[in-house]
A = this chain, B = another copy of it.
């Protein structure tokens, strides 16, 4: 099945990728310059939609990408409006900045139909983190003029690179469309941080017809001795994130303390009960109340306490146990103080596993087609933290498809999620190569 013709195609493709490396770098730096946090990726989405359209893809945006009512942790209306204005000022292509996007329906899907054949979906997350970028000149994005223009927002996780990689893939695959049999779906996902966006794309049905699903993350490595690519990952924790508010009744703490319903007391009881949820014999679990804000003044019984919490589990089942226990703890705590309770799901990810058959197939492709890249050890495939790509993988697998979540290794400056994060942009081309080689293998004749 694999022959000289195939070899030639690959050689050809690798040359093309080398050619567009400067474009990839420029794209990544543009996204880095104008980072946008979850549901505010308006400029980002408009740039991507414009590019995909120009390349010839069928493009979905807005409410065609994310199901109404299924987005988690959407900012307030005023924040959306203010940012839409800024996006325009920062050069968002006006024709592509739709009303839906301005309402927080960000994210883009590019579809390339090449006749009969399987459907291959690839996912690229595009949102930034809510943090301020390093001010020091020793930080390369600062020195070279592409550091964040948006206070309190920074691409410190590499999603700027992911967006650029997705557009690079779009270009390469379009050039090879004649060699493909089936359908390519490029999913540019908003709101991955906090696990807020994948569910809305899943709810819209975009994963229901997918036969093969691939995602990847740029991954830090001190040197490249451990290899360049892992074809799958393991160990990610399922999670759910809640905002919880206890509402009581204020009262003057000196004059009439008995007239109050103390929301802070309720929250304090909840904090203790949450952390005291039993350990699970089935595997790792987690719980954290990351923030708590309560009260208005020293001498007033607090009538409001708001906390941001999350639970995790090594499996979806453990995570569900944690979630149910957490809600019971909060409900009981509210009842103790005669308070009411408001809970809002702010993010959700499930347990995930990469299919062994797909991991092995990708391994074969890398060894055969990309011999300059080395496959990493299983240890490198340990995926700390939680990722809502799990929702997409699980949906694909539920319908009988195969899914994997890869990592492409790169040296980094500063750790992920720190203000000095930056990476070697050579990883962009490497990533494009892996995705495209796999696409050619799966959709090739």
Contact among B255, B282, B301 for A385, CB-based, below 8 A: B255
Q: A73–B236 Cα gap in the complex (Å)?
A: 42
One of A11-19, A154-162, A328-336, A356-364 at the interface: A328-336
Q: Mark A336-361, 1 if CB is under 8 A from B, else 0.
A: 11100000001000000000000000
A382→B265 CA distance, assembly (Å): 30
Q: Are A288 and B284 in contact (CB under 8 A)?
A: no
B275 touches A265 (CB 8 A): yes
B279 and A258 form a contact (CB under 8 A): yes
A276-B272 contact given A298-B290, A337-B328, CB 8 Å threshold: yes
- The docked-state distance in angstroms from the alpha carbon of A333 to that of B266 is 11
Chain B residues near A310 (CB, 8 Å)?
253-254, 298-299
**In chain A, residues 269-306, which have Cβ atoms closer than 8 Å to a Cβ of chain B?**
269, 271-273, 275-276, 278-282, 284-302, 305
Least Cβ–Cβ distance between A346 and chain B, in angstroms: 8
Does A71 count as interface, using CB distance less than 8 angstroms? no
Give the distance in Å from the alpha carbon of A316 to the alpha carbon of B338 in the complex: 21
Number of copies: 4
Judged by a CB distance under 8 angstroms, whether A194 is at the interface is yes
CB distance from A260 to the nearest CB of B (A): 6
Residue A143, interface by CB 8 Å: no
How long is the Cα–Cα vector from A385 to B255 in the complex, in angstroms?
7
Q: Are A257 and B299 in contact (CB under 8 A)?
A: no
* A241: Cβ under 8 A from any B Cβ: yes
Query: Using an 8 Å CB-CB cutoff, how does the interface string of A390-428 with B read, 1 for contact, 0 for none?
Result: 000000000000000000000000000000000000000
> Is A237 in contact with chain B by the CB < 8 A criterion?
yes
Q: Which residues of B contact A287 (CB under 8 A)?
A: 253, 279
Q: Which of B194, B278, B296, B336 contacts A301 (CB 8 A)?
A: B278
List chain B residues, Cβ under 8 A from A336.
269, 273, 328-329, 331-333, 336
| Residue pair A280, B253 in contact (C-beta under 8 Å) | no
- In Å, the complex CA distance between A287 and B286 comes to 15
Tell whether, in the assembled complex, residue B291 and residue A297 are in contact, meaning their CB atoms are under 8 Å apart. yes
Are B278 and A276 in contact, with the CB atoms below 8 A?
no
Give the bracket for the number of chain A residues in contact with chain B: 35 or more
Residues of the B chain whose Cβ atoms lie less than 8 Å from the Cβ of A272 = 265, 268-269, 272-273, 276
Q: Which residues between 236 and 255 of chain A lie within 8 Å of chain B, taking CB atoms?
A: 237, 239, 241, 253-255
Q: Which of A268, A293, A325, A384 has the most CB of B within 10 A?
A: A268
Check A281 against B284 for contact (C-beta < 8 Å). Answer: yes
Asked if A165 is at the interface (CB within 8 A of a chain B CB), the reply is no
Q: How far is the CB of A130 from chain B (nearest CB, A)?
A: 8
Which of B237, B290, B296 is close to A290, meaning CB atoms less than 8 Å apart? B296
Whether B273 contacts A302 by the Cβ 8 Å rule is no
Chain B residue with minimal CB distance to A276? B275
**How distant is A146 from chain B, measured CB to nearest CB, in Å?**
25
Contacts A/B (CB < 8 Å), 12 sampled: A241-B298, A253-B288, A254-B384, A256-B281, A257-B278, A262-B278, A269-B273, A272-B272, A276-B276, A298-B308, A331-B336, A332-B333
The residues of A with any CB-CB pair to B shorter than 8 Å are 194, 237, 239, 241, 253-258, 260, 262, 264-265, 267-269, 271-273, 275-276, 278-282, 284-302, 305, 308-310, 312, 321, 325, 328-329, 331-338, 346, 384-386
What 6 new A-B contacts, CB under 8 Å, besides A258-B279, A267-B292? A253-B287, A253-B290, A265-B271, A279-B279, A288-B300, A292-B305
